[in-house]
């Protein structure tokens, strides 16, 4: 009688391990697929030197003080995958 119980316990443990692995796989697949999408917008074409000067001025006035911090944070987040 005890031999049957030992065999049943082994099968039950294997089934539980498989279920946990499947649930973890589903969770990780859902988490990976839920990455935010980025929207790429196209800008108007540059037709005159005034357009080019305006774009250059916009780039010169852009605030990039926190850019290094944000890039380092993204790098550390990406390395955890």
Binning the chain into helix, strand and coil, the percentages to the nearest 5 are: 70, 0, 30
Cα separation, 79 vs 71, whole angstroms: 12
Q: Is the pTM of this model over 0.85?
A: no
Model confidence at 49: pLDDT above 70: yes
Q: What is the mean pLDDT of residues 40-46?
A: 78
Instruction: Scan for tokens 């969770």, then name that residue.
Output: 27
Q: What is the mean pLDDT of residues 8-31?
A: 90
- Whether residue 54 contacts residue 60, with contact meaning beta carbons closer than 8 Å, is answered with no
pLDDT digits (tens, 9 = 90+) for 6-16: 678 888 999 99
């Amino acid at each position: 009688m005890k031999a049957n119980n030992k065999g049943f316990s082994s099968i039950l443990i294997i089934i539980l391990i498989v279920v946990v692995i499947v649930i973890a796989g589903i969770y990780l697949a859902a988490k990976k697929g839920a990455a935010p999408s980025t929207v790429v917008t196209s800008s108007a074409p540059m037709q005159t030197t005034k357009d080019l000067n305006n774009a250059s001025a916009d780039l010169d006035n852009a605030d990039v003080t926190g850019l290094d911090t944000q890039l380092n944070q993204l790098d550390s987040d990406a390395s955890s995958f």
